[in-house]
Amino acid sequence: MSVSIKDIAKRVNRSITTVSRALNGYDDVSPETKQLVLETAKEMGYSPNTFAQRLQKQQSDTIGLILPTFSPRFSDPYFSELLAGIGNMAADLGFDLLVSTRSPGSEEKEAYEKLIEGRRVDGFIVVRTRKQDQRIDYLRSQDFPFVAFGRTDDCSQFSYVDEDGYFGMRLVAEYIANLKHERIACILPPAGLAFSEKRLAGLRDGLGEFNISLDESYIKEGDLTQKSGYQIGSELLDLPEKPTAIIACNDLMAFGVMSAAQDRNLVVGEDISVTGFDDIPMSEYSHPPLTTVHQPVYQIGGMVCEMLVKIIQDEIDDPQQVLLQPNLEIRQSCGLMKEKVN
Amino acid sequence: MSVSIKDIAKRVNRSITTVSRALNGYDDVSPETKQLVLETAKEMGYSPNTFAQRLQKQQSDTIGLILPTFSPRFSDPYFSELLAGIGNMAADLGFDLLVSTRSPGSEEKEAYEKLIEGRRVDGFIVVRTRKQDQRIDYLRSQDFPFVAFGRTDDCSQFSYVDEDGYFGMRLVAEYIANLKHERIACILPPAGLAFSEKRLAGLRDGLGEFNISLDESYIKEGDLTQKSGYQIGSELLDLPEKPTAIIACNDLMAFGVMSAAQDRNLVVGEDISVTGFDDIPMSEYSHPPLTTVHQPVYQIGGMVCEMLVKIIQDEIDDPQQVLLQPNLEIRQSCGLMKEKVN
DNA sequence: GTTGACATCCAAAACGTTTTGGTTTATACT
DNA sequence: AGTATAAACCAAAACGTTTTGGATGTCAAC
């Protein structure tokens, strides 16, 4: 059927060992033979059988990525970009990327176990870390290579890349405080997620510097979808004393909030200020363009992937930890506090 | 290291052949032995080595999906959902999904070639078909299994799933015509894409039934991003005689148009009507919620994947062709034509 | 008591690589 | 002449499966 190393060997009158070694650049094969082998290989259209290689080498050259999704429908632009970042870097490094989506829970754990048991992947990228993360506990207990995008409550012992959400939120807080807002609401991600409390703390501390306190009744929890932003936004805006600024913990929820505000004939950026987090591509072209904290997700995907490959290839032993400093992307969704809003 | 079929064989005092056959449910092994094997396998925590299986069986149980992206940043919610649909179905059927992103062109073709040559995938899912599709030409010339999501200029000879974009656009046309619009603009996808002209034809014919003609100067071409919708929307709305309805060929561009309109203090759904296509989750919670043609992308992903697996497993020989009838999701982004707009 | 059918089992080959542990030949140094 | 060193090569084993083509034993039928 397709050419194998054997066919080449026959053609050049050498052993398969020699052919293999020539192909792999060993130096115990003469330059002439090497060239001959390389040429005939090309001529015959040889390309190695990946599975034979993997079987022999006992490694899969594959990275696993299990996306946690709440509904089967999964359409967060944020993850798409991350995926592209990871995937392209993986391809560059000669690795395959094995993707599946699972909702958090037992099914998810099974997915990890299966991939490990079947030795199908050499390492995992764990995304959207939780404060107590069973996936990470499991991987650590198995001593299986992985890199996390995000931290956990106890993350001293593994490699991760994360953005400094605390700092990011302080930037937001400072900006909003300078706009003289005082009744400030916040829509958090689900409480179990690691970045939830970090962002809240950043916001609290940031506002604290301006002696503004965050009213508990203005703190809500969403599920990071636009729908949830819309619903919670509606609740907040229907309050007798509604907030003058709403800080959403991701862009999608911020969009939902903007829709809810606009449904109530409020002008976003004037009557009400809204901020997001992530800076997905759409944020620049929403109406109004969204003020948000920028995360270079595509690059982060690449970094995480590269780090994992290094770990797999034993070029790294100590955990690597990267914390990126974000910046605030100021656009038009916020404005000076107006008295007339009540 | 990890348990193999050999270890089990040793333990139960049978040959590896028998163990293998027991595990695979052949009937030339006695019920007792079979049970014994199954039990010890479980007990020892056996799970087969995927690569050994694949090497032996000469098939990869893997489906390839190469996403065509224009920029490295890729964040279309539409594709995310498709991906989830494909991925989950693949997992259910015991297949791996190998994903990468490439921009259309020579790199893309190489990616296909590499995966085929290395026998890494058993089949491909081709998405976002072009009128003349080199990928499909190539796959057909190689007689390599694939299923397309979308048609091409000549698609009589391969399997595909597509939505009837022509019909979808007729629905839009009828709806818009009934709202008494006459100056109607349209933002098309890049001309090379197969669905571009189908949708335009649907719109033309649909409007034709109401004796409305589509002015050439109102027909523009976008690149399916929100940004491009914004830019083209801006152009259209800055025309001396601006359109009263703008038909965008996907939701993302429709959002861009809405932003552009709102920047100009137009009320979408009153001063100007906007429609999209796809019905991505966000469309329901935009402001205003977007009137659009629904595509069950998640399910389509599943269908395409299932079809491909059947082809790979030789359960199908003739090309299967599925054309889904869409429906119009009427929301608030359109309204009766108002005279005062000029 | 031979034959055939059936149930149960298995040794060996095969899939396509890489790695191990050599051998052979030529060259250089005493 | 003998011995070390280096260069170029290779047979065989190994990775973990599945499949091929039997082998063996038992039982029923003739």
Contact between B50 and A120 under an 8 Å Cβ cutoff? The reply is yes
Test B298 with A98 for CB contact under 8 angstroms.
no
Residue B340 has pLDDT above 60, yes or no: no
Contact between A79 and A115 under an 8 Å Cβ cutoff? The reply is no
Residues of chain A with Cβ-Cβ distance to B258 below 8 Å are 287
Q: What is the pLDDT of residue B106?
A: 86
Using the structure block, give the residue that is written with the tokens 């929301």: B331
pLDDT tens-digit series, residues B277-310: 999 999 999 999 999 999 999 999 999 999 999 9
Using CA atoms, how far apart are residues B155 and B160, in angstroms rounded to an integer? Answer: 8
Q: What is the amino acid identity at position B230?
A: Y
Q: What is the pLDDT of residue B168?
A: 98
- Structure confidence at residue B206 as a pLDDT band (50, 70, 90): very high
Range of weakest confidence among A12-26, A90-104, A290-304, B230-244: A90-104
Contact between A305 and A85 under an 8 Å Cβ cutoff? The reply is yes
Residue A72 has pLDDT above 60, yes or no: yes
Mean pLDDT on A204-218: 96
Taking CA atoms, what residue in A is nearest to B61?
Answer: A51
Mean pLDDT on B18-32: 94
Quote the percentage of chain B above a pLDDT of 70. Answer: 98
Residue A71 Cα distances to A57, A76, A79, A224, A268, angstroms? 38, 11, 14, 12, 30
CB-based contact, A280 to chain B, within 8 Å: yes
Q: Give a three-class secondary structure readout of chain B.
A: CCCCHHHHHHHHCCCHHHHHHHHCCCCCCCHHHHHHHHHHHHHHCCCCCHHHHHHHHCCCCEEEEEEECCCCCCCCHHHHHHHHHHHHHHHHCCCEEEEEEECCCHHHHHHHHHHHHCCCCCEEEEECCECCCHHHHHHHHCCCCEEEECCCCCCCCCCEEEECHHHHHHHHHHHHHHCCCCCEEEEECCCCEHHHHHHHHHHHHHHHCCCCCCCHHHEEECCCCHHHHHHHHHHHHCCCCCCCEEEECCHHHHHHHHHHHHHCCCCECCCEEEEEEECCHHHHHCCCCCEEEECCHHHHHHHHHHHHHHHHCCCCCCCCEEEECCEEECCCCCCCCCCCCC
Mean pLDDT on B193-221: 96
Q: What is the pLDDT of residue B71?
A: 72
Q: What is the pLDDT of residue A117?
A: 85
Q: What is the pLDDT of residue B255?
A: 97
Residues of chain A with Cβ-Cβ distance to B259 below 8 Å are 285-287, 289
Using CA atoms, how far apart are residues B171 and B335, in angstroms rounded to an integer? Answer: 15
Structure tokens at B132: 């003349």
CB-based contact, B99 to chain A, within 8 Å: yes
User: End-to-end alpha-carbon separation of chain B, Å?
Assistant: 77
Q: What is the pLDDT of residue A342?
A: 42
Q: What is the pLDDT of residue A340?
A: 46
Cβ–Cβ contacts within 10 Å for residue A105, how many?
A: 10
CB-based contact, B276 to chain A, within 8 Å: no
Test A119 with B50 for CB contact under 8 angstroms.
yes
Q: What is the pLDDT of residue A166?
A: 98
Q: What is the pLDDT of residue B339?
A: 61
Q: Which residues contact B341 (CB under 8 A, 6 or more apart)?
A: B242, B244, B266, B271, B272
Mean pLDDT on B61-75: 85
Strand D contacted by B313 CB (< 7 A):
no
- Structure confidence at residue A339 as a pLDDT band (50, 70, 90): low
Residue B326 has pLDDT above 60, yes or no: yes
- Structure confidence at residue B338 as a pLDDT band (50, 70, 90): confident
Strand D contacted by A16 CB (< 7 A):
yes
Per DSSP, helices labelled H in chain A are 5-12, 16-23, 31-44, 50-57, 77-92, 106-117, 134-141, 165-178, 194-208, 226-237, 251-263, 297-312
Please identify among residues 178-237 of chain B the ones whose CB lies closer than 8 Å to any CB of chain A: 225-227, 229-230
Strand C contacted by B33 CB (< 7 A):
yes
Quote the percentage of chain A above a pLDDT of 70. Answer: 98
More confident residue, B69 or B169: B169
Strand C contacted by A17 CB (< 7 A):
yes
The mean pLDDT value of chain A amounts to: 94
> Which residue approaches D13 most closely, CA to C1'?
A56
Residue A97 has pLDDT above 80, yes or no: yes
Q: What is the pLDDT of residue B337?
A: 83
pLDDT tens-digit series, residues B114-169: 899 888 999 999 999 999 999 999 999 999 999 999 999 998 899 999 999 999 99
Residue B276 has pLDDT above 70, yes or no: yes
Please identify among residues 110-169 of chain B the ones whose CB lies closer than 8 Å to any CB of chain A: 111, 114, 117-120
Q: What is the pLDDT of residue A256?
A: 97
Strand C contacted by A282 CB (< 7 A):
no
pLDDT tens-digit series, residues A103-130: 888 889 999 998 998 889 999 999 999 9
Q: What is the pLDDT of residue A130?
A: 96
- Structure confidence at residue B1 as a pLDDT band (50, 70, 90): low
Q: What is the pLDDT of residue B342?
A: 43
Mean pLDDT on B329-334: 98
Mean pLDDT on B56-74: 88
